[in-house]
Chains A and B, each alone.
Chain A
Amino acid sequence: MLELIHFNILSVLLFSVGLYGVLARKSAILIIMAIELMLNAVNINFIAAAAFNHGNGLFTNFDGHILTIFIITIAAAEVGLALALILRIFRNKATVNVDSFDIMKL
């Protein structure tokens, strides 16, 4: 029988994989992809909690789904802005390696 804990564990595993990607990769675009994985882990958690807790507890029926819609919106805006910033930096420095983005270092 499918239970809430299965979805929670899947979400934890996906979040950890994304966290490893954010910390270990050097390319800024790969870091954005790993951030997308982490956001999807959070979305799975929200939808699972909303689908199993129908109407009892703190949340009403569809709050988890609505929050997921907002997270998808923010993720789309974030990817657009982040890739514009990466293009700008690539034009100035000819690389997307985050180790070379150190112009704010004293």
Chain B
Amino acid sequence: MHLILFSIISTVLLVCAVGVVISRNIVHSALFLLFALISVAGIYLVLLTEFLAIVQLLIYGGAIVIVILFALMLTRNEEYPRIQNNKLWPIAGVLAVLVCITMSVSYFQSGAIQNVPNTIAPAGVKSLGSSLFTTWAIPFELASLVLLVALIGAIVIARSDKDGN
């Protein structure tokens, strides 16, 4: 049952991911990205991680895709509907296939993942929260600082200067 669910969701995910990187229309790419991110939330649900699935839907499916669509809207120009690839795209394809083969072979040959148990441990919100606020409390506070700096930086960079520069 889990395997069937996993197969369906991962097929949708990979088809949408390929759609993101080969689609000529940039708005279609953004919509494929939205569906791919929602499928990743489905993968998290298969892994019994419901809190992170909700976070994925809210932050990636909600915030990041909306920000990307805003950037698309603000950077429209005449080369917009048909984005060309780099001239060296065959080399990029070969490199991606090589990385895929190398990492797959190393996963199949590594002993570290062969003696793990076959059961999935559910991650409840309560234990996740207590781990986040005890062991990982200082990195959690630093993450808020990172978000503040990124917010201020984005405002300062995107603001237009007063002297029209």
Interface residues of A (CB under 8 A from B): 1-10, 12-21, 23-27, 29-30, 32-34, 36-37, 40, 43-44, 47-48, 50-57, 60-63, 65-66, 68-70, 72-81, 83-88, 90-91, 94-97, 99
Contact = CB atoms under 8 A, between A and B. Distances in A.
From DSSP, what is the main secondary structure of chain B's interface residues? helix
Contacts of A18: 17, 21
Contact of A61 (B46, B95, B121): B121
Contact of B3 (A2, A19, A34, A95): A2
Nearest to B155: A84
Contacts of B91: 23
B154 A32 contact: no
A40 B30 CA distance: 15
B6 A72 contact: no
Contacts of B68: 29, 32-33, 79, 83
Interface in B84-98: 84-86, 88-89, 91-93, 95-97
Contacts of A20: 21, 92-93, 95-96
Interface string B97-110: 10110011001100
A12 B97 CA distance: 10
A17 B21 contact: yes
Interface residues of B, number: 86
Nearest to A38: B17
Interface string B126-157: 01100110011001000100110111011101
From DSSP, what is the main secondary structure of chain A's interface residues? helix
Nearest to A12: B103
28 contacts: A2-B3, A4-B113, A8-B107, A10-B10, A12-B107, A14-B17, A18-B21, A20-B21, A23-B96, A24-B21, A34-B21, A40-B60, A50-B123, A51-B47, A52-B119, A52-B121, A61-B127, A61-B131, A65-B52, A65-B131, A66-B135, A66-B136, A72-B60, A80-B67, A86-B71, A88-B157, A88-B158, A91-B160
B119 to A, nearest CB: 8
B107 A9 contact: yes
Contact of B83 (A13, A25, A65): A25
Interface string B1-33: 011001000100110011011000010011001
B163 interface: no
Contacts of A76: 59, 63-64, 147, 150
B163 to A, nearest CB: 14
Nearest to B84: A26
